[in-house]
Amino acid sequence: MSEVDVDGADVESQVAAVVAALRAPASATTAEVEARVEAALGALGIAAPRPVDGGRLSSAALAPASHGTPREGDEGDEHEGDEGDEHHDDGAGDEHDDDGDDDDEEDPRELFWWLAKMAPPTHRRAREPAAPVDADLVARLEGMLAERPEPDEGHAQMAIDAASTLRRAQAVIDEVGVDAPIVAVGDDDGVTLALALLGAKDLFAVDVDPAVLGWLDEQARALGARFEGARADVFEDAPPEGIRGRCVAAVTDPVRNGEECLAFLDYAKACLVEGPAARIFWADHPDWNLELAEVLASLDARGLRLVRELPLLHAYPVSAAWVPDVEAKARALAARGVALRPTTLGALVEHVRGWTNLYVLARR
């Protein structure tokens, strides 16, 4: 598949070559980047991160802080699985982080696995960019996003960039039009605001976080859009009267594991009108939600079907804040047998972006 011989090189040189390709995308093919990533991951001693919490990469693997894992005591904790499970024996090199370097108690190979897996999509999108988005709209949405409340790690909030939010909104409008009632099930990305900017007229959002709803409400009003927000926990609540069964589209970016993802999808479905026009727009990626295949396989039983998949539509800027101490991470990796210079790990963090696809679902 690859034109370069990637076998035999150590992790350090594989990753250095991946970083070089990310710095100068024209210098390599994405297939070469993929081959180097797989060769580097082959040296990890684990095929994939442990599917803790029922499929999600364990929390600190995807910092900032505990992305994806509600804080102790937060509502929704009962859906989080047993925290104790995070550190179970994975059967591969199990002396746990006892070097005192890494205070997050996570297997550092998981972060490395995820960064490496996101390198080929990052490279692909550098060579084949997604559809361009109107720069004026991006600037306007960025202005609104600047007012967004601080991300609440307790609610798994982590945002895509403004262009990605507009791409998601455009995909929704392309499918259902601007007159359709549309609900965002969880909306820290501000999809409803992007929809309003693109001319959508009948907008709803539900979110467990009142701060997100307050922000959306204020911004949507300033845009003059019709917007209604409702606080709801998809794990516990049914959609309120005004939303249940009346939306033509539901847009959601669920927590990334099988069980919780299905709760968001079930809630989204409960918001939809009957009939063939109704659509769910679900953002996810198989290298992030490790149970995505199971979710897809269970759609049929839920009365849903996959209509199309829009690959790599959304980008997450990976900031240095995700890996604040690369030296400590590199030491922790070395303790797990993965020899990587801190500068190489830091360069990977700097150049990789996270990606998700958009899955479009309809009633079966």
207 belongs to the binding site for ligand SAM (CB under 6 A): yes
The CB-of-355 to ligand SAM minimum distance in angstroms stands at: 12
Nearer to ligand SAM, 15 or 263 (CB): 263
Q: Please state, in angstroms and rounded to a whole number, the distance separating the CA atoms of residues 183 and 195.
A: 10
Nearer to ligand SAM, 187 or 228 (CB): 187
Nearer to ligand SAM, 104 or 187 (CB): 187
Nearer to ligand SAM, 76 or 346 (CB): 76
Nearer to ligand SAM, 34 or 259 (CB): 259
Task: Give the residue from 213, 203, 348, 359 showing the smallest Cα distance to 279.
Answer: 359
Q: Please state, in angstroms and rounded to a whole number, the distance separating the CA atoms of residues 56 and 21.
A: 28
Nearer to ligand SAM, 234 or 358 (CB): 234
Q: Please state, in angstroms and rounded to a whole number, the distance separating the CA atoms of residues 38 and 17.
A: 13
Are 322 and 63 spatial neighbours (Cβ–Cβ below 8 Å)?
A: yes
Which amino acid is located at 153 in the chain? E
How many residues belong to the site for ligand SAM (CB under 6 A)?
A: 22
Task: Give the residue from 109, 165, 97 showing the smallest Cα distance to 133.
Answer: 165
- What is the Cα 86 distance to its own chain's centre? 20
The CB-of-291 to ligand SAM minimum distance in angstroms stands at: 12
The DSSP symbol for 245 reads T
Q: Please state, in angstroms and rounded to a whole number, the distance separating the CA atoms of residues 60 and 58.
A: 6
234 belongs to the binding site for ligand SAM (CB under 6 A): yes
156 belongs to the binding site for ligand SAM (CB under 6 A): yes
Task: Give the residue from 175, 160, 166 showing the smallest Cα distance to 133.
Answer: 166
Task: Strand 353-363: give its sheet, edge to edge.
Answer: 226-231, 202-207, 181-185, 249-252, 279-284, 353-363, 304-317
Nearer to ligand SAM, 116 or 156 (CB): 156
Q: Which of 46, 142, 235, 246 binds ligand SAM (CB under 6 A)?
A: 235
Of 109-117, 149-157, 195-203, 217-225, the segment contacting ligand SAM by CB under 6 A is: 149-157
**Integer Rg of the chain from CA:** 21
The CB-of-290 to ligand SAM minimum distance in angstroms stands at: 11
Of 9-17, 154-162, 173-181, 242-250, the segment contacting ligand SAM by CB under 6 A is: 154-162
The CB-of-140 to ligand SAM minimum distance in angstroms stands at: 20
Residues forming a β-bridge with 228: 204
208 belongs to the binding site for ligand SAM (CB under 6 A): yes
188 belongs to the binding site for ligand SAM (CB under 6 A): yes
Task: Give the residue from 328, 273, 271, 265 showing the smallest Cα distance to 292.
Answer: 265
Of 15-23, 86-94, 124-132, 253-261, the segment contacting ligand SAM by CB under 6 A is: 253-261
**Packing angle between helix 11-23 and helix 108-127, nearest 10 degrees?**
30
Is the Cα torsion angle 207, 322, 333, 284 positive or negative in sign?
A: positive
The CB-of-263 to ligand SAM minimum distance in angstroms stands at: 7
Q: Please state, in angstroms and rounded to a whole number, the distance separating the CA atoms of residues 150 and 148.
A: 6
Q: Which of 12, 134, 217, 233 binds ligand SAM (CB under 6 A)?
A: 233
The CB-of-155 to ligand SAM minimum distance in angstroms stands at: 4
Interface map 53-82 toward ligand SAM (x if CB under 6 A): --------------xx-------x------
Of 16-24, 208-216, 295-303, 326-334, the segment contacting ligand SAM by CB under 6 A is: 208-216
Chain residue whose CB lies nearest ligand SAM: 186
Are 303 and 360 spatial neighbours (Cβ–Cβ below 8 Å)?
A: no
Q: Please state, in angstroms and rounded to a whole number, the distance separating the CA atoms of residues 107 and 96.
A: 8
Binding residues (CB under 6 A) for ligand SAM: these are 67-68, 76, 155-158, 186-188, 207-209, 212, 232-235, 253-256
